[in-house]
Amino acid sequence: MKITPTAISDVLVIEPTVFGDARGFFFESFSQKVFEEAVGRRVQFVQDNHSRSAKGVLRGLHYQIHQPQGKLIRVVRGSVFDVAVDIRRSSSTFGSWVGVELTEFNHKQLWVPEGFAHGFVVGADPTEVLYKTTDYYAPEHERSIVWNDPSLAIEWPGLGSAPTLSAKDKAALPLTNAEVFP
Ligand SMILES: Cc1cn([C@H]2C[C@H](O)[C@@H](COP(=O)(O)OP(=O)(O)O[C@H]3O[C@H](C)C(=O)[C@H](O)[C@H]3O)O2)c(=O)[nH]c1=O
């Protein structure tokens, strides 16, 4: 397991040790002990999510303002460019973003702690994303920030044409209008 901090130090890239042989491969996709050693604190996941998307779909940028969710994201089929945006007002990196390509082939995972907005754009057809969350889904607390907020200037790759968005994401507002964390 290789742990690499991103430019926003709380956001980590986790790469499992993959054991390949003539049959294929094996790797431990999650170990509570290894994960907590990497993060440096106790973390309890309570929910697993699974979404499938076509190429060109963009989901996000989402967060829960109450019952905030830490997320551990990985791709088991296809690829995404996964983005975390720091929306902790007290953070020195408030309004900054990091993006990492997660694919079925690089086996990379992204740890996005509570206090961040999260989203991804899909680079292959179809793509399946699995992720663990540290609190339960609470739609009444869910908030969105628009994917192409000029104040964030996220460099989404592969968007030759407009992404495929949900109605909710089409209606999302910029960070300046969003509720953020202390
Ligand atoms: C997130 C979620 C959704 N749902 C239901 C609600 C809707 O009927 C349906 C699709 O929900 P939504 O369009 O919000 O799904 P995404 O756009 O993939 O949302 C996710 O996208 C970004 C990438 C995130 O980081 C969040 O985990 C989450 O907001 O699943 C549930 O029942 N439980 C859940 O935890």
The per-residue pLDDT for 20 is 97
The per-residue pLDDT for 159 is 84
Q: Is the CB of 17 under 6 A from ligand 1?
A: no
pLDDT in tens, 39-74: 999 999 999 999 999 999 999 999 999 999 999 999
**Mean pLDDT, to the nearest integer, of 96-112?**
98
Contacts of 171 (CB under 8 A, 6+ apart): 144
Q: Is the dihedral of CA 127, 133, 139, 144 positive or negative?
A: negative
Q: Is the CB of 46 under 6 A from ligand 1?
A: no
Helix (H, G, I), strand (E, B) or coil at 163: coil
Ligand 1 centroid–CA 124 distance in Å is: 20
The per-residue pLDDT for 3 is 96
With tokens 């926003």, the residue in question is 8
Q: Delineate the domains of the chain, giving CATH numbers in brackets.
A: 2-177 (2.60.120.10)
The per-residue pLDDT for 161 is 84
Q: Examine the pLDDT at 175 and tell me if it is beyond 80.
A: yes
Q: Is the CB of 118 under 6 A from ligand 1?
A: yes
Q: Examine the pLDDT at 27 and tell me if it is beyond 80.
A: yes
Q: What is the ipTM of this complex?
A: 0.98
Residues with a catalytic annotation lie at 62, 131
- Give the predicted TM-score (pTM) of the model: 0.97
Ligand 1 centroid–CA 24 distance in Å is: 32
